[in-house]
Amino acid sequence: MFRVALFLLVTLPLTAKDWYLFTSFRGNGETGLYLALSEDGAHWTTLNNDRPWLKPGVNGMLMRDPWLGRGPDGVWHLLWTCSWTRANNGGLVIGHASSADLLSWTEQREIPVLRDAAAAMNAWAPEALWDEANREWIIFWATTIPGTTTSSKVPGDKGYDHRIYAARTKDWQTLSEAKLWFDPGFNCIDSTVVQDGRRWVMIFKDERSSPLEKRLRLAFSESPGGPWTGVSEPVSGDWVEGPTSLRIGTAWWIYFDHYRQPQHYGALKTADWRNFEDMTDRISFPPGQRHGTAVAIDENLAQILQRQKR
């Protein structure tokens, strides 16, 4: 009996731990998608010998600000900024591809957004979140539509005065009409959203340059679709952008790209979204990594990705 009990004890499966995957781009985004891996969320190692994991599949397309998320069906979706301004054909688009395993990808495609807003200047840093109650995705991004905002623009903004717009989709083929989704009353970009219990938290960049902001702030909602309220004071220093957040243990880590020279990554740690600890001197990233998304993955997938050469 003792030996049987011992055998059962030592053969019970161990609890799998989370690993973490970070998407990024290099330079202007012309070379494609890069991936980095971490066991602890602090120390990151590039995959594929720091070569692109996925290259832009449309001639002239950039692959900036890559967002990666997994749906309830297990399919991964990748969104990215295609270009700085309206596409050559006059349309406003974001990039999309999907994958069941992060190895084989669907054909890359351009998703048109804001079809009826002829004056819309751009579509930057698209992300998405799953709205469980409505069984659909909310895709959101930053756009400037001249004449629709009231905040004053300054020369450093180059005519941009962004707000966050969103559209809904159930199949990634047909999108609802895009609507204004978040307007804090000033120029803002690079929004990302996480769910913390019953509350949804948006982290975004205050894009104002005079007086200088270029810092991260927070907003909150009781549902994934908004409305977003309670805009916080800045939680980061200036000249940062591209936030993404992971829950590690009982705390949330917020990563950001400090894009002024010397360019580097920084991080904040919080348990309550009110008090923040600077973790920048305790993290390491591949040189030249530019902002993307951090997500949790299982150890099996992490090992598969480590072995893969592309």
Give me the tens of pLDDT residue by residue for the chain, a chain 310 residues long: 434 333 333 333 445 689 999 999 999 999 999 999 999 999 999 999 999 999 998 877 899 999 999 999 999 999 999 988 875 555 799 999 999 999 999 999 999 999 889 899 999 999 999 999 999 999 999 999 998 988 777 766 788 999 999 999 999 999 999 999 999 999 999 999 999 999 999 999 999 998 899 999 999 999 999 999 999 999 999 999 999 999 999 999 999 999 999 999 999 999 999 999 999 999 999 999 999 999 999 999 999 999 999 9
Helix (H) or strand (E) holding 303: helix 299-307
Question: CA triplet 25, 47, 142: central angle to 5 degrees?
Answer: 25
Could you please state the CATH topology (level 3) that the domain comprising 16-307 is classified under: Tachylectin-2; Chain A (2.115.10)
Amino acid, res. 107:
E
Q: Residue 73 and residue 172: Cα distance in Å, rounded?
A: 13
Give the tokens for residue 69: 């998320």
> Tokens at residue 21, please?
């995957």
Q: What are the residue ranges spanned by the domains of the chain? A: 16-307
Q: Which amino acid is present at 299?
A: E
> Quick one: how far is CA 27 from the chain centroid?
17
Contact in structure between 145 and 161 (CB atoms under 8 Å):
no
Q: Which amino acid is at 303?
A: Q
